[in-house]
């Protein structure tokens, strides 16, 4: 009987610990929010455009 009782306690301790971990993780995650999309009529800045200098640089890399 003692062994059965210890196994039940062990099981319950692990269930409670697992529940606490899940609840803590959910609380820390919080709610996600998305960034607003840029307005449609406004152009987005392009960070890269191909130029003669870039073409020469990439050509030298391949050589």
pTM over 0.75: no
Does residue 56 come out as left (phi exceeding 0), alpha (psi in the -120 to 50 range) or beta? Answer: alpha
The domain segmentation of the chain, as residue ranges, is 1-29
Dump pLDDT digits (tens) for 9-28: 888 888 888 888 888 777 77
Outline where 1-63 has alpha helix (H): 2-29, 52-62
Dump pLDDT digits (tens) for 35-49: 777 666 656 677 777
Q: What is the pLDDT of residue 44?
A: 65
């Amino acid at each position: 009987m003692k062994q059965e009782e210890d196994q039940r306690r062990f099981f319950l301790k692990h269930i409670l610990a697992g529940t606490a971990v899940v609840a803590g993780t959910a609380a820390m995650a919080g709610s996600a929010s998305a960034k607003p999309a840029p307005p449609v009529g406004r152009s987005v800045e392009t960070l890269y455009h191909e130029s003669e200098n870039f073409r020469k640089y990439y050509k030298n890399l391949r050589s």
